[in-house]
A and B are shown apart, each in its own frame.
Chain A
Amino acid sequence: MLLSNLPALQVVIPLVSAPVCLLLRNPRHAWACALIISWLVLAMALLLLQQVYTLGTISYAIGAWATPWGIEYRIDMAGALMILIIATVGAVTMPYAWRNIQHELHRKHTGVYYTCYLLCLTGLLGIVVTGDAFNLFVFLEISSLSSYVLISLGPSRRALTAAYQYLVMGTIGATFILIGIGLLYMMTGTLNMQDISQRLPEVADTRTIRVAFAFVTVGVSIKLALFPLHIWLPNAYTYAPSVVSAFMAATATKVGVYVLLRFFFTLFGLQFSFNAMHVGEILMLLAVAAILIASLVAIFQDNVKRMLAYSSVAQIGYIILGISLATTAGVSAGMLHLFNHAMIKGALFMAMGCIFLRLGSVEIHNMHGLARQMPWTMAAFVAGGLSLIGVPLTAGFISKWYLVNAALTDGYWPLAVLILVSSLLALIYIWRVVEAAYFHLPGADMHKVREAPASMLIPTWLLIGVNLYVGLDAGLITNIAQQGAASLLGQALQ
C-alpha cells in the first residue's frame, strides 16, 4: 500500500512538513524536522529507483482519477535518477546546514529557511515525478519562488539584488514555459504529456506549435542557465548562503536540464525537436560557447564561489553538449555528467561553506596558507577539483570519457578536442585556489583559523566519496543513465 503510493508520498511529505517547520519556534526543532524529512525523502527515492529498476516505468494516477481527467505521475529511469540526485544532495546538505545556517542567517530567519528549503525540495521533486505539463509549471513555480527566498537570505545585502534579478529572470522563464504549455494545450486539447506527444504529430507543422517550441526553449534555457541566459546565476550562487549555493548548484539547474529533456524528447519528440527545428545545432553552438567563455571567465574570478558559479555554467555546457547530439550515447553521457556534476559542485560549494565559516571570506587572496589550518577542507576541495577537471579515477573522468566517445562516434572530433582542452581551463582555475592555499605563506591572522566542524566536513566528504566511488566503479550509475536515455529517446521514437 505504502510502496505503491511512493510517487505521491515523495512530493506530499515534504510539502506537508514545510509549514510545520515554520510553526516550530525553536530552530533546533525546525532543523530536526527538515533533517528527518530529507532522509525520509532519500529513503523513498532509493525505493523508487529500485522499483523502476526492476519493474520499469511507473505510472500513478493522483486520487485514482484516470489519466485523461486526473493528474498522472510518471517516473521512468531518467526521472528516478533525477530524484536520486535531488534527494541525495538534500539529505547530505541538511546535517551540514545546521552550523552553516546558524552562522550565516539571522536567528529569526531560520524557520523561514527550513520551510523554504522543504518547499524547494517539493517543487524540484514534483517537476520530476509529474506527467502533466501544467502540473510541471506549478511545481516549477513552487521551487522557483522558494529559491528566490532562499537566495535572499544570504549574509550580504547584495543577496537581495541577486535574488531580485533571479526573480525577474526566473519569472520570465516560467511565463515563457507557461505560454508554451498554453499553446500546446490549445492545439492538442490535453495537458497530459503522453497524450500531448501522441496528438502532436498531427498538428506539428503549424506555426502555433513552432512558436510554442521557441517559447519553451528560451524559457527552459533561462531556468537551466544556458549561455547567454546564465547571467542571473553567478550572483545568485555567490551571495546565497553557502548551503543554499551547494543545494541549488547541485539540483536546480539540473532539474532545468531535466525539463528540457522532457519537453524535447517526450513532448515534442526527437523527430520534431531535432530534425524539424534543428535545435541540436543551436544547443551545440551555445554549449561550446558556454564551455569556453564561462571557463575563461572563471579563471579571472577572485571570489571562489563566483568562480564555481561560472564553472557551473561551463559544466552545464558539457551536459547540453551531450544532449545536443541527440543520440543514446550523447544523452546518456549528458545525464551521467548531470549526476557527476551535481556531486562535484555540491562538494565544492560545501567546502567553500566550511571556509566561509572559519575565514569569513571566500576570496582567493584571503586563502593564503589555508591548507595548513584546514587540511581536510582543502583536501576535499582538491579532490572535488580533480573530479571537475576530469582526472582518471574520479567521477569527472567517467562522464568526460563518455562525452568524448559520444562526440567521436558521431564524427565530431573538434568537440572531443574542445572537451580535452577545456579540461585544462578547469585545471587553471582550480589551481589558482590550490596555489594560494598550499604554496603561499600564511597571512598574519591565519594561525587563528581552525578546521571546520565535523558536522560540515562529513557531509562534504560523503559527496567526495561518491565522486571517488563512481570514478572507480561507474557500472551502476552508467547503467542507470543509459537506461534513462533509452527511455527518453525510446519514447521519442515511438
Chain B
Amino acid sequence: MIGISAVPPGLPLILGALLLPLLGPRARAVLVLGLPLLVLALVWQVPDGTSLRLAFLDYELAPVTGDRLSRLFGTVFAIMAFAGGLFALNRSRVVELVAALTGAGSAIGLTFAGDLFTLIVFWELLALSSTLLVWSAMTDRSYGAGMRYLIIHLLGGVILMAGVIGHVADTGSVVFTAMLPDSPAHWLILAGFLVNAGAPPVSAWLPDAYPEASPTGMVFLSAFTTKSAIYVLLRGFPGAEILIAIGLYMIFYGIVYALLENDMRRILAYSIVNQVGFMICGIGIGTEMALNGTAAHAFTHIIYKALLLMSAGSVLYMTGKRKCTDLGGLFRSMPLTTVCGIIGALSISTFPLTSGFISKSMISQAAADQQMAILWFLLTAGTAGVLLHAGIKFPWFVFFQKDSGLRPPDPPLNMRMAMILFAFLCIALGVWPAPLYAILPYPVDYVPYTYAHVVAKLQLLLFSGLAFFIMLPYLKRTLTITLDWDWFYRWLGPRAIGQATRVVSRWHAHRRIDVLRHLGHLFGTLFLYHGPQGILARTWATGSMVLWVVILLGIYLIAYYY
C-alpha cells in the first residue's frame, strides 16, 4: 500500500506544470496557487527515513527520503513557489509559469532525493527548466544568456555525473550521504555541486543569466538553483574546509562587482553570489551551529532576496527601465514597492527585527565559537559590505536620490499581495525566530537578541551606513561618468577617451586575435577533416573505398601471418 507519504513531494508541481498550457487563465491561476500549497502539505507528510524505494538497474533508489533538513528546504521552496506564482500571475506567458513550476518541483524533488540517481535527474531537470525560464523572456539577449547558462550547467552536470559514477564504482552504493573530498570521484561531485552554487571560477553565469530573465522570471530563478546547491553541499560536504575559502571569495566578489554595477537587477544578482558565499562559509565551518545557521540563512535569504527582486521587478515592469541612472525618486508614486524594497534591504543587511539578523549572525557566531578570528572579522566586514551594495545602494538609487521624473503607480494587485506577504514574513521571522529555529536540522540554543549583539550590530550597520553617505559624493562622482556619459562623449570625445579606448582595444584586439586565431585554427582543422567536404565526411569513390578494405585486410593478414 502506497500511502500519501510515498508521493514524491515535487511531483505534483512538475505534472501540474505540464497541464498548464491546456488550461484557461482562471484554472491556470487556481493551479499555480493551489499546487504549491498542496506540495507544502505533502512536504510535511514525509516521515523521517525512506518511504519509497524503487529498483533501478542493480541499485535501490530512494526518491522520497525525508529528514529535518529536507523538510526545511522543501518548505521554503514551496512557499517561494506560491509567492512567485502569485507575483507572476498576471503575466500572460504560459511557458514561464511552466518552467517556474517545473523548476520549483525539481528543487523540491531534489531535497527529498535519498540517492544520487534521483538527485541527478532532478538536478538536470532544474537546469533545463531554469534555462527555459531565462529564455521565456523571449529577447535576443536572453537567448544568448540562456544558452551560456545551459552550457555551463550541462558541463556541471557531466562533471557531477562522472563523480557519481566514480563514487558508485568505488563504494557500490548510490545512497546520498555525507562525503569528504578525499577521492577524485568526490572532488568531481563537489565541483559539480559548486557550479550550481555560483562558485569561482564560473560565478559569472549567475549575474549573466538571471538579469536577462523577465521581471517575474528572475524572482523564481533567484531561489532554486543556488539554494538547492546549498542544500546538497549541506548534506554532502559539511565541514569541507576548502569551502571556507571559496565562500569568502564569493562574498567579496559579490560586493565589489555589485558596487561597480549600474543595472539594479545585476546588483541583486551579484548580491546572490555574495549571500551564497556566507552560506558556503557556514558549510565549511561545519559545526552544528554553523550548519543550522546556513540552513536558516538559506531559508530567510530566499524570502528577502525574492522580496528585493519583486520590488526591482515591479519597478522594471512598471517603468521598463533597469539602470540605476535612469531611475530615482520613485518613492513618490510607488510607496508600497518602496517600503517592501526597504524591508528586503534591511533584512539582507541583517538589521535587528528582520529575518537576516536572526540567521546570518548564527554563522558569524559559529566562526567565533570555533576561535576563527580572521574568518569572523572577514564575515563582519562582509556584512558591512552587504549593507553598502544591497542594503543602501539599491533602494537609494532606485527609489530616492534624484528625481528621474518617472511617476509610475504601484504594480497590479497580485504583485502587491506577493510583496506584502514576503515583507510580512521578513519582519515576522525577525521578531519571532522561534518557529524557524524549531525546524532547523539541529537543536538550537542561540539567542539572537542579546543586548551586546544588538548594539554591536547596530553600531556596525550605522557606521557603514554613515560611510555610504559620506562616500556618496565619491560614489556619485564615479556614477556621473555613467550619468553624463554623453557629456564626456561630446566634450572630450574621440581625443581623450577615444585615444585611451584605442590603446586598450588595440592591446585587447591583439590578444583577442591571438586567441581567436588559435580557436579558428582548431576549428578550421576540425572542419577540414570533419566538415561536409572533409576527407572523413565526403562521399568516396568506390575504388578508394575498396582500397581501404584491401589495406585493412593487408594489415590484419600481415599481423596474423607472423
A169 contacts B by Cβ under 8 Å: yes
Complex CA distance for A474 and B56, rounded to whole angstroms:
7
Inter-chain contact A300/B548, CB cutoff 8 Å: no
Per a CB cutoff under 8 Å, which of B124, B526, B560 touches A296? B526
Asked whether A165 lies within 8 Å of B545 as measured between CB atoms, the reply is yes
Over the window 211-233 of chain A, the binary record of Cβ atoms lying under 8 Å from chain B Cβ atoms (1 yes, 0 no) is: 10111011001100000110110
* Complex-state Cα separation, A234 to B539, whole angstroms: 8
Query: In this complex, which of B162, B168, B556, B561 has the most chain A Cβ atoms within 10 angstroms of its Cβ?
Result: B556
Judge whether B530 and A300 touch: CB under 8 Å. yes
A47 touches B (CB below 8 Å): no
Contact with A along B145-172 (1 / 0, CB 8 A): 0000000001100100110011011000
Does A302 lie within 8 Å of B532, measured CB to CB? yes
Q: Which among B155, B162, B540 is the interface contact of A231 at CB below 8 angstroms?
A: B540
Given the known interface contacts A301-B532, A398-B57, A408-B165, the answer about A218 and B560 at a Cβ–Cβ threshold of 8 Å is: no
Residues of A within 8 A of B117 (CB): 392
Q: Does A62 contact B (CB under 8 A)?
A: no
Chain B residue nearest in CB terms to A424: B158
Count class of interface residues, chain B: 35 or more
Q: Would B169 and A213 count as touching, CB distance under 8 A? A: no
Chain A residues within 8 Å of chain B by Cβ, number: 52
B124 and A439 contacting across the interface, CB-CB below 8 Å: no
Write the nearest CB–CB distance from A469 to chain B, whole angstroms: 13
User: Known contacts being A231-B540, A404-B165, A405-B165, is A169 close to B527, with CB within 8 Å?
Assistant: no
Q: Which of B121, B552, B559 contacts A393 (CB 8 A)?
A: B121
A185 cross-chain contacts in B, Cβ below 8 A: none
- Whether, in the assembled complex, B553 has its beta carbon less than 8 Å from a beta carbon of chain A, the answer is yes
CA gap between A90 and B526 in the complex, in Å: 38
Chain B neighbourhood of A234, CB < 8 A: 537, 539
Interface contact A229-B549, CB-CB below 8 Å = yes
Q: Tell me if A235 counts as interface (CB < 8 A to partner B).
A: yes
Nearest CB of chain A from residue B96's CB, rounded to whole Å: 16
Among residues 100 to 147 in chain B, which have CB atoms less than 8 Å away from a CB atom of chain A?
117, 120-121, 124, 143
Cβ of B2 within 8 Å of any chain A Cβ, yes or no, is no
Q: A217-B556, A297-B530, A392-B124 are in contact. Are A222 and B169 (CB under 8 A)?
A: no
Once the chains bind, are B530 and A231 in contact (CB under 8 Å)?
A: no
- Which A235-286 residues sit within 8 Å CB-CB of chain B? 235, 277
Residue pair A408, B531 in contact (C-beta under 8 Å)? no
CA distance A336 to B537 in the complex (A): 28
**Min CB gap B168→A, angstroms:** 8
Complex Cα distance, B552 from A423, in Å, reads 29
- Are B545 and A169 closer than 8 Å at their CB atoms? yes
Interface residues of A in 409-446 (CB under 8 A from B): 409, 416-417, 420-421, 423-424, 427, 439
A218 touches B548 (CB 8 A): no
Q: Give the chain A neighbours of B559 by CB distance below 8 A.
A: 214
| A164 x B158 contact (CB < 8 A) | no
Q: How many contacts A-B (CB < 8 Å)? A: 104
Bound-state CA distance A421–B162 (Å) is 10
| Complex: A215 Cα to B555 Cα, angstroms | 11
Residues of B within 8 A of A391 (CB): 124
Q: What's the minimum C-beta distance from B540 to chain A, rounded to whole angstroms?
A: 5
Residue of B nearest to A292 (CB): B530
Chain B residues within an 8 Å CB radius of A176: 553
Residues of A within 8 A of B553 (CB): 176, 214-215, 218
Looking at the assembled complex, report how far the CB atom of A397 sits from the nearest CB atom of chain B, in whole angstroms. Answer: 10
Question: From residue 530 to 562 of chain B, which have CB atoms closer than 8 A to chain A?
Answer: 530-532, 534, 536-537, 539-540, 542, 545-546, 548-549, 552-553, 556-557, 559-561
Is the beta-carbon distance between B548 and A228 smaller than 8 angstroms?
A: yes
CB < 8 Å: which of B55, B158, B165, B561 contacts A207? Answer: B561
Q: Which residue of A has the minimal Cβ distance to B120?
A: A392
Q: Which one, B143, B155, B552, contacts A439 given CB within 8 A?
A: B143
Are B542 and A221 touching (Cβ within 8 A)?
no
Interface residues of B in 191-230 (CB under 8 A from A): none
Residues of A within 8 A of B548 (CB): 228-229, 231
Q: What's the nearest-Cβ distance from chain B to residue A481, in Å?
A: 12
**Contact B124–A293 (Cβ < 8 Å):** no
> Which chain B positions have C-beta within 8 A of A169?
542, 545-546, 549
- In the bound assembly, the distance between CA atoms of A405 and B121 in angstroms comes to 19
- Chain B residues closer than 8 Å to A277, beta-carbon distance: 560
- For B537, give the chain A residue with the smallest CB separation: A297
Contact yes or no, A423 B158, CB < 8 A: yes
Residues of A contacting B537 in the complex (Cβ-Cβ under 8 angstroms): 234, 297, 300-301, 310
Cβ contacts B20-58/A at 8 Å (1 or 0 each): 000000000000000000000000000000000001110
Asked whether A427 and B560 contact (CB < 8 A) given A165-B542, A231-B545, A296-B526, the answer is: no
17 other contacts beyond A168-B545, A300-B537, with CB at 8 A cut-off? A169-B546, A218-B553, A229-B548, A234-B537, A234-B539, A296-B536, A297-B530, A300-B534, A391-B124, A392-B120, A393-B121, A405-B169, A417-B162, A420-B161, A420-B165, A439-B143, A474-B57
Across the A-B interface, the 6 shortest Cβ-Cβ residue pairs = A214-B556, A210-B560, A296-B530, A297-B537, A218-B553, A297-B530
* Chain A to chain B contacts (Cβ below 8 Å), 26 pairs: A168-B542, A176-B553, A207-B560, A210-B560, A210-B561, A211-B557, A213-B560, A214-B560, A217-B556, A221-B552, A222-B549, A229-B549, A231-B539, A231-B545, A293-B530, A297-B534, A300-B531, A402-B57, A404-B165, A405-B169, A408-B169, A420-B165, A427-B154, A439-B143, A474-B56, A475-B55
A-to-B contact residues, CB < 8 Å = 164-165, 168-169, 172, 176, 207, 210-211, 213-215, 217-218, 221-222, 228-229, 231-232, 234-235, 277, 293, 296-297, 299-302, 310, 391-393, 398, 401-402, 404-405, 408-409, 416-417, 420-421, 423-424, 427, 439, 474-475, 478
